[in-house]
C-alpha cells in the first residue's frame, strides 16, 4: 500500500518542486493543500501517514496544524519544509519528525521521509519517545534517543552512530553536554572521548593495559580506557579478568 502524503504549501513554485521530488523519490499517494484551511479539511476527511508542512501560510499556520495532527489517530508524521529557522524549537516540542530549511535537496527530503516511515506506529507515550534535537546542514533532526548507539568526539565534532547505520556529525553539543541530556543508566562513558548505549553492546573483549574492546550489535568497535573499565564491567554485570 502506498504511503499517503499530504503536501501543505501556499507557494505554487515550492509546491510543484516538492511534488516533483516526491514523484522521483518513491511511490506515494500525494494530495496537496494550498493553505491551512484546505489542509485542515483534508486531515479531517482521511488518515495520512506523512504531512509536509510549511510554517507561514494564510489562515492556519503550520504550527497550529501540527498540533491538530497530534490529536489524530492514527497520528501522521509531520515534516516541516520552511524558510524560517526560528520555529525549529516549537516544531521539536510539538513532535515533528524533521525540519527542513529551504532550499533543501531531494536527497535531504528522502532522508526525512525514510525516518518518518520508520517511526513506530504506536501512539502511546513511553520513555522511548525522548528525542535529541540535532541541527544539521539543511535543517534539524529529532533523533530518538533509542536510535543513538554510540558517540565519539574528535576535534570538537561529535560523531553519532545510529541504529540504521548512519554516522551523524554535529558541533551543537559537547560530549558532556550531550551526556547530560541522555537517560541515566542507559548510556555510559567508556573513554574521555566516547560513550555507548549499554543495550547496544554485544561483546566486551579484554585488551592490553587494562583496556577493553567494546563491540556493538552493529559490529562497530569502540575502545574502553582503563580509567572507565571498572564502570563498564559493573554496568554490564561482568567481572574483570585477572
Residue pair 51/77 in contact by the 8 Å Cβ criterion: yes
The segments of the chain whose pLDDT lies below 50 read 122-128
Reading phi first (left if > 0) and then psi (alpha if -120 to 50, else beta), residue 13 is in: alpha
The pLDDT of residue 157 is 93
The pLDDT of residue 139 is 65
Residue pair 174/155 in contact by the 8 Å Cβ criterion: no
CA separation for the pair 29, 38 (Å, rounded): 17
- Which residue ranges form the domains of the chain, and what is each CATH number? 3-124 (3.40.50.2300), 145-236 (2.40.50.1020)
| Integer CA distances (angstroms), 41 to 45, 68, 69, 79, in order | 6, 11, 12, 19
Query: Which tens digit of pLDDT belongs to each residue from 134-191?
Result: 776 656 677 888 899 999 999 999 999 999 888 999 887 889 888 887 877 889 999 9
The pLDDT of residue 123 is 41
Q: For residue 137, give the DSSP letter.
A: T
Instruction: Please state the pTM of the whole predicted model.
Output: 0.55
Amino acid at each position: 500500500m502506498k504511503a499517503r502524503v499530504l503536501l501543505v504549501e501556499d507557494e505554487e513554485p515550492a509546491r510543484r518542486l516538492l511534488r516533483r521530488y516526491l514523484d522521483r523519490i518513491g511511490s506515494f499517494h500525494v494530495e496537496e493543500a494550498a493553505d491551512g484551511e484546505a489542509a485542515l479539511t483534508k486531515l479531517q476527511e482521511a488518515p495520512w501517514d506523512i504531512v509536509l508542512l510549511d510554517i507561514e501560510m494564510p489562515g492556519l499556520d503550520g504550527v497550529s496544524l501540527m498540533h491538530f495532527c497530534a490529536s489524530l489517530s492514527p497520528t501522521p508524521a509531520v515534516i516541516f519544509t520552511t524558510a524560517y529557522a526560528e520555529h525549529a524549537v516549537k516544531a521539536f516540542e510539538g513532535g515533528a519528525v524533521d525540519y527542513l530549511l529551504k532550499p533543501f535537496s531531494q536527497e535531504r527530503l528522502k532522508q526525512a521521509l525514510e525516518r518518518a516511515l520508520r517511526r513506530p506506529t504506536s501512539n502511546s507515550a513511553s520513555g522511548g519517545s525522548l528525542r535529541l534535537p540535532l541541527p544539521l546542514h539543511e535543517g534539524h533532526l529529532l533523533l530518538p534517543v533509542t536510535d543513538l548507539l554510540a558517540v565519539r568526539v574528535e576535534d570538537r565534532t561529535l560523531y553519532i552512530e545510529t541504529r540504521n547505520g548512519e554516522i551523524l556529525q554535529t558541533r551543537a553539543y559537547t560530549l558532556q553536554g550531550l551526556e547530560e541530556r541522555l537517560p541515566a543508566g542507559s548510556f555510559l562513558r567508556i573513554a574521555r572521548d566516547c560513550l555507548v548505549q549499554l543495550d547496544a553492546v554485544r561483546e566486551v573483549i579484554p585488551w592490553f593495559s587494562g583496556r577493553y574492546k567494546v563491540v556493538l550489535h552493529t559490529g562497530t568497535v569502540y575502545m574502553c580506557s582503563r580509567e572507565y573499565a571498572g564502570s563498564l564491567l559493573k554496568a554490564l554485570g561482568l567481572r574483570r579478568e585477572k
